[in-house]
Amino acid sequence: MLEQWLSYPATPDRVLSMIGIEIHWVILQYTLGLSFLAVVAEVIWLKTKKEDWLKIARTIAKGFIIVLRLGLQRVQPQNLA
């Protein structure tokens, strides 16, 4: 079956597409995970009132904002139409 798949003329394009899809999937999980961890850290801070958890939540939120901004940097109004 692998030989049949490799015999198709567009094999390099398929491999490149699979790599691109996987990279985007990892970035999506990373971004969603950062926001979730920031919320969890803030909830822990609300329950314990330890300032360390607030610092952790703010640091994670800053990382999330940086990742989100880099992702949105490519989206411009003329590209949305």
Q: What is the pLDDT along the chain (81 residues), one digit of tens a residue?
A: 778 777 777 777 888 888 989 998 988 888 889 999 999 999 999 999 999 999 999 999 999 898 888 877 776 666 555
Q: Is residue 4 part of a domain?
A: no
Q: Is residue 64 part of a domain?
A: yes
Determine, yes or no, domain membership for 3: no
pLDDT value, residue 75: 66
pLDDT of res. 60: 93
41 inside domain: yes
Cβ neighbours, 10 Å, residue 41: 20
Tell me, yes or no, whether 46 lies in a domain. Answer: yes
Residues 55 and 29 sit within 8 Å (Cβ to Cβ): no
Question: Does residue 66 belong to any structural domain of this protein?
Answer: yes
What pLDDT does 70 receive?
81
> Residue 10 domain-assigned?
no
Task: Give residue 36's domain range.
Answer: 32-73
In the chain, the number of structural domains is: 1
Q: What is the pTM of this model?
A: 0.64
Determine the pLDDT at residue 49. 94
- The residue count for the chain: 81
